[in-house]
Amino acid sequence: MLVLIARYQAKAGQGDAVEAALHQMAPIVKAEEPGCLLYQVYRGRDDRDRFVLVEHYRDQTALDAHRATPHFQRLILETVIPMLERREPELYDLVIS
């Protein structure tokens, strides 16, 4: 299993808009991407413009398919990323569950 941890730092005051876009994204991923086994979003308590996304994919092919979807293009690349100061994606292999 492939695990993606993405840390987002939104531009000051953009946290609510980022959260709104991610609220649109999550149900689409769950409904349309069988290769995505988990899609969770966390928002900072002390910094409301800080997010952590935790995503589990069956394999690299499933992650590549996720990144190619129209909803990823529209909601993440076109909507969320322009609102971010920083985006730090990290890939891991799940070794203990």
Determine the pLDDT at residue 13.
97
The residue range of the domain holding 66 is 2-93
Q: Which amino acid appears at position 66 of this protein?
A: H
Q: Which amino acid appears at position 16 of this protein?
A: D
Give me the number of domains the chain comprises.
1
- Name residues of the chain where pLDDT drops below 70: none
Determine the pLDDT at residue 75.
98
Q: What is the CATH number of the domain that holds 77?
A: 3.30.70.100
Determine the pLDDT at residue 5.
98
Determine the pLDDT at residue 58.
98
Q: Which amino acid appears at position 58 of this protein?
A: R
Distances, alpha carbon 14 to alpha carbons 3, 37, 40, in Å:
26, 28, 19
pTM reported for the whole predicted model: 0.94
**Considering only CA atoms, which of 30, 33, 91, 37 is closest in space to residue 65?**
33
